[in-house]
Structure 1
Amino acid sequence: MTYKIADFHCDVLSKMLVDDSIDFGQADSDRLDVTYARLIKAQAVLQTFAIYIPEQMELGMRPILRSIDLFYRKVLNYPRMKLVRSAGDLELSLQHGQIGALLSLEGVGGLMEDLTNLRILFYLGVRALGLTWNHANWAADGVMEPRQGGLTRKGRSLVRNCNEMGILLDVSHLTDRGFWELVDESEAPFIASHSNARSICDHPRNLTDEQIRAIIAMDGRIGITFVPWFVNKPQPAVIDDVLRHVEHVCALGGEQQLMLGSDYDGIDRHVVGLSHPGENVNLIEALQKHYNETLVASFTYQNAVRFLKTNLPR
């Protein structure tokens, strides 16, 4: 059986923002993990492209808009790439054998507290949003912020507006306090696009068992990530270490809430055997030794696709 892939996080756009000469279409790039050719080889049906602005760049809308311009000019210009703004777009891309491309904003600092900017990004196709990266901004505290605060008043307003528009919320970089405040504030289920299980690898970017259970209860999604230091503290990390996180989420009841969030192109080291989408087959082969075909397909793409069909705008 050939398994398709849906991946909820990569940082191709951030690399392009730093170096506009990078070519998404280069077949075997040593500058990108995720390329057009590798997505085709991986049987990808969905790839989320994060808008992440490196900390050394200016804060504001300009680099965000530049990232979106790069997405339209250098990613969507390939024939099998299809922008996904709605459940209908996703249905069409699946029917036509295309690769759905979802835009996500990683950290809202650049919106400068202005919800008009949020609406502009929605018009341009952004459909997922992480309130923070690792540090604090006007909406919330990131997971590495020393004070470990939660959502601000303006952050709560942002959450309500995202719910109303149909922008998916992402907790992968949010503090524990912010996570639980979002549970109370959001009327829609949310995702952790690229986080693992903290009880398997004790890193603050990973989810506690209580958080995993909460996401399962709301029928949100947990994107198992390939960041080596979120997978296993002793390095190098290997694919069997990734499986331990899969097994743990399943043991907590999350077989239908588990998906993939590689973080390709956001890391400078890789899990052995998982350095780009063309190697995802190695993970699939490992999963096949432990799970039946139905579950492997659920993990690799069906759970993610089902969530988007249910929660994206119609």
Structure 2
Amino acid sequence: MVIDAHCDVLLKLWQDHADFESSEQLQVDLKKWRKSPVKVQCFAIFVPEEVPKEEQFDVALEMARLFHEKIVEPYPDVQFISNQQDLHRLGDDQLGAVLTLEGCHVIGNDIDKLKQLISLGVRAVGLTWNQANAVCDGIGEKRGAGLTRFGEEVIDLLNKESIWTDLSHISYQGFFDAIERARYIMASHGNAMEVYPHRRNLSDEQIQALVNRDAWFGITFVPYFTSGKKIVEINDLLKHIQYFIDKGGENCLGFGSDFDGISDTIDRLEDIADYPNLIEEVNRYFTNEQIEKISYRNFIEKFPRLEN
């Protein structure tokens, strides 16, 4: 059993009108998903920056509609995950789908828009993508500014609603501002800076802060976050897993593939159906307890929203 905390299928459903049931365009479609060991998949609402600002929220609403109408509602074996109890209730023949938001640029400076997305099922909110927005700077901004007052208001709402605050893509200063304020913290998809230096990877200081806060963070399959080699292999990914464990992250770690957000892939890890290749290699180096924690237990135990 595996839980994957990040993919960009909704972008392709919206942008390319891909067929979720079975499509060569998708690294995660229903046919591949059913064949894989992935029990629960998180689907991110990501609205590209080139979409005009006045249209971004409408596109986010459209992606939320596509999540429910194209991924969940047509298939009896796919269950919408709203809270931790939903994860525990999944039957042996059922899959779980979680809706997330990648970047608060879509809400502008209107907290009611975030409330609406939460009401539609969003259960993790990435504060930024790479650019600045009304909440905070992203990692791609030179000034590297931290949380704004509106950003503090956003985190306060997420705390109140028991929603994960996702710190992937955020500026370095914003990361530590958010760590201090957020109650439920994740970094859904990123690797270790000391293993391979990429601006999107986590520094030792960030890893320690996440571990200290008992947060959740996901190893990602983006090859250029993993290694500088021309052909990146699964063993290169294992180095990041081992590093996080060595830094005390065994009870915090999981997977956040970023499938359908990448075109280049790690060798033998090209789509969701290739997860068995990863699990086979993981089994060579880690204990059964470590594998269970990383594969699904950490995610379930830290899922913040509980049933009312």
Unaligned ranges ≥5, structure 1: none
| Map of 2:8 onto structure 1 | 11
After TM superposition, the score normalised by the length of structure 2 is: 0.96
| Map of 1:197 onto structure 2 | 192
Q: 1:140 to 1:269 in 2, by over 3 A?
A: same
Q: Is the 8 A contact 2:20 2:30 kept in 1?
A: yes
| Map of 1:89 onto structure 2 | 86
Higher mean C-alpha deviation, range 76-85 or range 224-233: 76-85
Q: What CA distance in whole angstroms lies between the structure 2 residues aligned with 1:23 and 1:5? A: 24
| Map of 1:273 onto structure 2 | 268
Instruction: Tell me how far 1:282 sits from its aligned partner.
Output: 0.8
Q: Is the 8 A contact 1:189 1:215 kept in 2?
A: no
The reply on whether 1:119 has 2:112 as its aligned counterpart is no
The reply on whether 1:133 has 2:133 as its aligned counterpart is no
Q: What CA distance in whole angstroms lies between the structure 1 residues aligned with 2:44 and 2:237? A: 22
| Map of 1:257 onto structure 2 | 252
Instruction: Tell me how far 1:96 sits from its aligned partner.
Output: 5.2
Write out per-residue CA displacement over residues 273-310 of structure 1, whole angstroms, 9 at most, x where no aligned residue: 111111111111111111122211221112112211xx
Higher mean C-alpha deviation, range 232-241 or range 51-60: 51-60
Instruction: Tell me how far 1:194 sits from its aligned partner.
Output: 0.2
Instruction: Tell me how far 1:56 sits from its aligned partner.
Output: 2.1
Aligned partner of residue 306 in structure 1, secondary structure = helix
Instruction: Tell me how far 1:67 sits from its aligned partner.
Output: 0.3
Instruction: Tell me how far 1:47 sits from its aligned partner.
Output: 0.5
Aligned partner of residue 9 in structure 1, secondary structure = coil
Q: What CA distance in whole angstroms lies between the structure 2 residues aligned with 1:233 and 1:313? A: 41
Percent identical among aligned pairs is 36
Write out per-residue CA displacement over residues 51-76 of structure 1, whole angstroms, 9 at most, x where no aligned residue: 00112223231000110111111101
Counterpart pick for 1:38 among 32, 42, 45 = 32
Q: What CA distance in whole angstroms lies between the structure 2 residues aligned with 1:82 and 1:37? A: 16
Write out per-residue CA displacement over residues 232-265 of structure 1, whole angstroms, 9 at most, x where no aligned residue: 0222211010000000000011111110000000
| Map of 2:138 onto structure 1 | 142
Q: Is the 8 A contact 1:61 1:111 kept in 2?
A: yes
Counterpart pick for 1:307 among 297, 302, 308 = 302
Q: What CA distance in whole angstroms lies between the structure 2 residues aligned with 1:40 and 1:31? A: 17
Write out per-residue CA displacement over residues 56-110 of structure 1, whole angstroms, 9 at most, x where no aligned residue: 22323100011011111110122211111112222222x4542111111101111
The reply on whether 1:55 has 2:52 as its aligned counterpart is no
| Map of 1:155 onto structure 2 | 151
Q: What CA distance in whole angstroms lies between the structure 1 residues aligned with 2:101 and 2:276? A: 28
The reply on whether 1:107 has 2:107 as its aligned counterpart is no
| Map of 1:282 onto structure 2 | 277
Structure 1 residue ranges, 4+ long, deviating more than 4 angstroms after superposition: none
After TM superposition, the score normalised by the length of structure 1 is: 0.94
Unaligned ranges ≥5, structure 2: none
| Map of 1:219 onto structure 2 | 214
Which amino acid letter does the alignment assign opposite residue 59 of structure 2? Answer: P
Which amino acid letter does the alignment assign opposite residue 38 of structure 1? Answer: K
Instruction: Tell me how far 1:7 sits from its aligned partner.
Output: 0.1
